[in-house]
């Protein structure tokens, strides 16, 4: 395994606990204790995943997440003692892939890391997985999205969600179905996660085409509607 996991937390006890658990599971944990070091480490360390605390010196976790997303699609799992829905949604809106509330069980953290990496590091299938519509191209073979021929950055989970919907045009999916089929049965989040990712996709795709749209089916869920 040996994937690098960047742990960003200023609590020495938490860092050491995570280091022990991750090392035992075959990961290569790397620890930094402030937001500035976290941003700098993305290019130097090139981690497979970032465990990011919110309350950090120099730059807080929100700022770090925003800066990372300006240049990298590396999976981010945020950690915080703040368990309010607002904080979780804010983290997801900024580009985080998951959100863990402290205090947490280290085994749960490891399970979530493995769940994210199974999807983002999975080998490409022999048959290219891509869809193409008017002014839109999405590939999860190489995790790429093009809008009007121009590459658009998007986190892996956004691409997977859009690909799943676009691969089944005009089919309505409930939020729970999307959580099961895109995030996987071992995901610990709730249905608001889907809403946040749909919102971010719509911002990227606004006005792109009049031949299709990401449509909300009220009281049910979402669909990729072709016209």
In CATH, the number for domain 4-120 is 3.40.50.2300
- Number of alpha carbons in the 13 Å side-chain half-sphere of residue 153: 8
- What token pair was written down for 205? 């795709």
The answer to whether 139 and 129 have CB atoms below 8 angstroms apart is: yes
- Residue 78's nearest CA partner among 28, 64, 200, 111 is 64
- Could you tell me the end-to-end alpha-carbon distance of the chain, in angstroms, rounded to an integer? 45
- The proportion of the chain whose per-residue pLDDT surpasses 90, expressed as a percent, equals 59
Q: Would you say residue 214 has pLDDT above 90?
A: yes
Beta bridge partners of 78: 52, 99
176 secondary structure, DSSP code: H
| pLDDT attached to residue 105 | 87
- Domain ranges (residues) in the chain: 4-120, 130-226
- Tell me whether the CATH fold assigned to 4-120 matches the one assigned to 130-226: no
Reported as a pLDDT band with limits 50, 70 and 90, residue 189 is low
Q: Would you say residue 186 has pLDDT above 70?
A: no
Sign of CA dihedral 41, 46, 47, 52: positive
| pLDDT attached to residue 83 | 66
pLDDT in tens, 134-155: 999 999 888 899 999 999 999 8
| pLDDT attached to residue 125 | 47
For residue 106, what are the CA distances in angstroms to 9, 16, 19, 33, 83? 15, 11, 10, 19, 17
In CATH, the number for domain 130-226 is 1.10.10.10
Average pLDDT for 187-195: 75
Reported as a pLDDT band with limits 50, 70 and 90, residue 127 is low
The Cβ of residue 101 has, within 10 Å, a number of other Cβ atoms equal to: 14
Task: For residues 100 and 51, give the distance between their C-alpha atoms in angstroms, rounded to a whole number.
Answer: 9
- Residue 207's nearest CA partner among 143, 134, 131 is 134
| pLDDT attached to residue 4 | 94
Task: For residues 63 and 33, give the distance between their C-alpha atoms in angstroms, rounded to a whole number.
Answer: 15
pLDDT in tens, 44-88: 999 999 999 999 999 999 999 999 998 898 999 999 887 677 777
């Amino acid at each position: 395994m040996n994937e690098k996991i960047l742990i960003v937390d200023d609590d020495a006890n938490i860092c050491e606990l995570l280091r022990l658990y991750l090392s035992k599971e075959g990961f290569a944990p790397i620890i930094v204790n402030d937001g500035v070091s976290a941003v700098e480490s993305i290019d130097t360390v090139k981690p497979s995943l970032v465990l990011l605390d919110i309350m950090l010196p120099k730059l807080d976790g929100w700022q770090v997440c925003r800066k990372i997303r300006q240049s990298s699609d590396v999976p981010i799992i945020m950690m915080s003692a703040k368990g309010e829905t607002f904080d979780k949604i804010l983290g997801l809106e900024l580009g985080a892939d998951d959100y863990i509330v402290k205090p947490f069980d280290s085994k749960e953290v490891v399970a979530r890391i493995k769940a994210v990496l199974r999807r983002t590091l999975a080998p490409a299938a022999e048959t290219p997985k891509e869809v193409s519509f008017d002014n839109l191209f999405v590939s999860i073979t190489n995790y790429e999205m093009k809008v009007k021929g121009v590459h658009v950055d998007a986190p892996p989970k956004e691409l997977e969600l859009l690909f799943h919907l676009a691969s089944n045009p005009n089919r309505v999916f409930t939020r729970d179905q999307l959580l099961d089929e895109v995030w996987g049965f071992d995901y610990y989040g709730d249905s608001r996660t889907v809403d946040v990712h749909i919102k971010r996709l719509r911002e990227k795709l606004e006005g792109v085409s009049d031949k299709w749209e990401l449509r909300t089916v009220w009281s049910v869920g979402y669909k990729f509607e072709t016209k």
